[in-house]
Amino acid sequence: MIEFILNDVLIKTNSPPGLPLLDFIRQEMGLMGTKIACREGDCGACTLMVGELDGDKVSYKTIVSCLTPLVNVQSKHVVSIEGLNGDQLSHVQQAIVDHSGTQCGFCTPGFVISLMTKSLSDANSSLDETLASVDGNICRCTGYKSIERAVKDIWEVNQRRKDKDAPQWMVKNKYLPEYFLSIHDRLSNIILPDERIKKSNVILGGGTDLMVQKADSIMHAGLQTLREKDILHGIMIEDDHCILQAGATVTELLTSLELRSIFPGIQKYFKLLSSTQIRNMGTLGGNIVNASPIGDLIVFFLALDAKLQINSPDGGRRSVALKDFYLDYKKIDLKQGEYVEALSFNIPLHGYQFNFEKVSKREHLDIASVNSAILLHLQDNLIKDVRLSAGGVGPIPMFLEKTSSFLQGRRPDVESLSEANSILQDEISPIDDIRGSEEYKRLLLRQLFIAHFIELCPDQIRMDQLQEILIQI
């Protein structure tokens, strides 16, 4: 039995746990405002608002319902466009009307849901942050300028909020139906599911990959999700190392104060990972075991010499270096019944610098053509330590051991980078595919390799030297 609140209705259902939430909403509940389009999380037409208990309040986020298995909304509040209807248009709906932000209207429910969810969050959000809340919503008609003007109006209204309690303020101004004020108490009365991980169950993260790749096979499977397990939540600092539980979402990593202190540029790096909806859903553990050769989080943590804590239902544990976890294309060192519990890495010492780069066809809602990360320590103008990783240039995410070893003890200059690039090109084995030709991927990684040093060594590798570097390599 799966139990949750859909708009203002308590739902108890024995529908398959792997049934896409989108299909449940439309086919079983008859709520047609949530649209079917790509079924791959790429367009945002099926965006829903999902709330869960967070202390004395309910925290809301956006998800794409086409990639959300029904089991993932256990004990949560799911809001479709119909659940936002009141006696009058909300400030979000009115702004879209005023600025002609809709044409065919197919994508509009997703935009409204995203902007209403943002309105329920921090009132101090900047205009750019409010605009970013719709980075997972695509419109084929308007060209976005009308939507951007609407967003500006919405943001200005939100700035006038005096009440710290967003739902109270929105209900008072008739922007939100009154039933929202009872959701916290109603969710508190829903019995949480058994949190034990059972050997026979299929364990998934947010479903953002598995629901695309194996939707039919997991439809009726006994599913348990990483997000349901308290033991798989959290981000911890212990002495000189950081521990990330497998159930942490990309959004949680992005907003973590602990990780921000370690990686000042983490917001810039992680904003390159898909879209708001997908970041809200995708988990660290899911990204790791999906084993994509271009997995952004994998490439990020490969450069940090991360290790995985692997568990089994009988309580056994073992540790595996992330760089040794990938055996071949989509093959990983994970035995039957085992699951990834956590990832850990040593916090870079003072003087170490980190950088992550990614190239994709679109800034949002796209996977990498090539990505790369580097951990670098310079002392006396010499490379004392370096770890370089890359994705999209081989059958597995790669730690570039030979290139890293070559750079040890060398100066970060044109000559060293030229020689290192030759080693790098021999170390990788890209193929022609939909993301680009072999030649193109080799060129991209060369550019990202140079970009690392331009970013981290501006005194040694200046922009005015870029042409010289490119000529030489």
Residue 363 confidence (pLDDT): 72
Residue 336 confidence (pLDDT): 84
Judge whether residue 364 has pLDDT over 80: no
* CATH architecture designation of domain 91-176: Orthogonal Bundle (1.10)
CA–CA separation, 412 and 454 (whole Å): 10
Q: Topology of domain 202-346, per CATH?
A: 3.30.465
Of 229-233, 300-304, 414-418, 448-452, least confident by mean pLDDT is 229-233
- Find, among 282, 330, 449, the residue nearest to 441 by Cα: 449
Residue 197 confidence (pLDDT): 52
Write down the mean pLDDT value for the chain: 90
Residue 240 confidence (pLDDT): 92
The pLDDT tens digits for 2-25 are 999 999 999 999 999 899 999 999
- CATH 3.30.465.10-classified regions of the chain: 202-346
Which one is predicted more confidently, 199 or 421?
421
CA–CA separation, 170 and 360 (whole Å): 38
- CATH 1.10.150.120-classified regions of the chain: 91-176
Which one is predicted more confidently, 315 or 67?
67
Instruction: For residue 179, give Cα distances in angstroms to 4, 217, 273, 312.
Output: 15, 37, 34, 42
CA–CA separation, 63 and 4 (whole Å): 16
Of 186-195, 319-328, 335-344, least confident by mean pLDDT is 186-195
The answer to whether the CB of 161 falls within 8 A of the CB of 148 is no
Edge-to-edge strand ranges of the sheet holding 47-54: 9-13, 2-6, 77-79, 47-54, 57-64
The answer to whether the CB of 113 falls within 8 A of the CB of 154 is no
* Predicted TM-score of the model (pTM): 0.91
- CATH 3.30.390.50-classified regions of the chain: 352-472
* CATH architecture designation of domain 352-472: 2-Layer Sandwich (3.30)
The pLDDT tens digits for 182-219 are 999 999 999 776 555 555 467 777 888 888 888 787 77
Q: Which tokens hold the place of 240?
A: 């000189």
Judge whether residue 68 has pLDDT over 70: yes
Q: Give the confidence band of 259 by pLDDT, cuts at 50, 70, 90.
A: very high
